[in-house]
């Protein structure tokens, strides 16, 4: 059971130092300097391929991991399928326990509500009938 860290900053001019300091307890850390909006994040893909059943994927904040609520849900589904827990340090989320799973799902639901509460901002994401 390994703690596998993932750290990302959006541009080359930014530093990973703060995230790496918080992830220093991890057995392995994947680092990336790439925009969260980018659909190609090779180090994240490598990280998700690396984790195994019983491992924990550790990030400092949810926005370091996923580029959207949909992307976060896709990553969460992949981790659940592989039986890997997600730990988000700054938001004190650990999907390895019932409270963490509840909090994670509530945050995802709130984020989804925000998308549908403001449809003009996200016209392509509205899936509910008029």
Instruction: Note if 39 is an active site residue.
Output: no
Distance of CA 94 to the CA centre of its chain: 12
Beta 85-88 vs 28-33: how paired, if at all? unpaired
Q: Residue 129: CA atoms inside 13 Å, Cβ hemisphere, count?
A: 0
d(CA 56, CA 84): 5
Catalytic entry in 10, 46, 56, 127? 10
Alpha helix positions (H), 14-130: 17-22, 42-50, 62-65, 69-82, 98-117
d(CA 38, CA 116): 23
Active site residues: 10
């Amino acid at each position: 059971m390994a703690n596998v860290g993932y750290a990302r900053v959006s541009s080359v001019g930014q530093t990973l130092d703060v995230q790496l300091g918080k992830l220093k307890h991890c057995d392995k850390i994947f680092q990336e300097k790439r925009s969260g909006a980018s659909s190609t994040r090779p180090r994240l893909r490598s990280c998700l391929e690396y984790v195994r059943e019983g491992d924990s994927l550790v990030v400092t904040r949810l926005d370091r991991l996923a580029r959207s609520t949909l992307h976060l849900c896709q990553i969460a589904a992949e981790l659940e399928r592989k039986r890997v827990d997600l730990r988000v340090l700054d938001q004190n989320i650990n999907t390895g326990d019932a409270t963490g799973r509840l909090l994670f799902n509530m945050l995802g639901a709130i984020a989804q509500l925000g998308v549908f509460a403001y449809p003009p901002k996200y016209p392509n994401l509205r899936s509910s009938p008029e």
